[in-house]
Amino acid sequence: MDNNQKISCQRKFKYSLGILMGLLAWPLSQALAQPLDLPEPTRIYQLSTPQQLTIPRQQPGEMIPAPISETVRDNQDLLAPVQFNTVIARELPALWQMRVPIDQVGSLYATYELKAGNGQSNRFSSHHRSEQTVNVAIEPLPIIEISRDETTALVQGGALLQFDLANARTAGAYGGVITVTVNQR
């Protein structure tokens, strides 16, 4: 291996290591995936949601795939890009609660709209550089009944957020607004 190739390999290694360290140190967004302490709705059709929520930081093991062992045969093998998990998922099962008449429990569905701080849909934006965003897919979780009285039921719903970090360019905190709408079929 000549000196130029050695410097090129070292530069690529440092670049890859720098990206890896930046991603490992990067907290996803500021939003809480543990059970939320929501005030229980007291009136029919009253929707209870948190005003702010913090999603737990990503863990180093989430980005790095399971350990594998490979044999390096030549320079090309050394230069092969490192494969990372670029989609990180967070489940928010109890994102909202609502009190409804018992006969309407099975006919409810929820929709979610996600907007970054800069107004872009289906994204979270960096708190420090609002033009820097990450794609976020949001998938509704089933609505479940958690309690009932003689005439009403307390239901709750949530969502699965999938953060696509493949095109992330800025480390740090990211955030956005999730709008919850509960409708009846």
The answer on pLDDT for 15 being more than 50 is: no
Lowest mean pLDDT among 5-9, 82-86, 117-121, 136-140: 5-9
pLDDT, residue 70, reads 65
pTM of the model: 0.69
pLDDT, residue 167, reads 81
Q: Per-residue confidence at 85, pLDDT binned at 50, 70, 90?
A: confident
| Percentage, residues of the chain above pLDDT 70 | 72
Q: What is the DSSP string of 148-181?
A: E-SSEEEEEEEEEEEEE-TT----S-EEEEEEEE
Cα separation of the two ends of the chain: 67
- In degrees and rounded to multiples of 5, residue 161 shows phi and psi of -100, 130
pLDDT, residue 72, reads 73
Summarize the confidence of residues 138-164 as an average pLDDT. 94
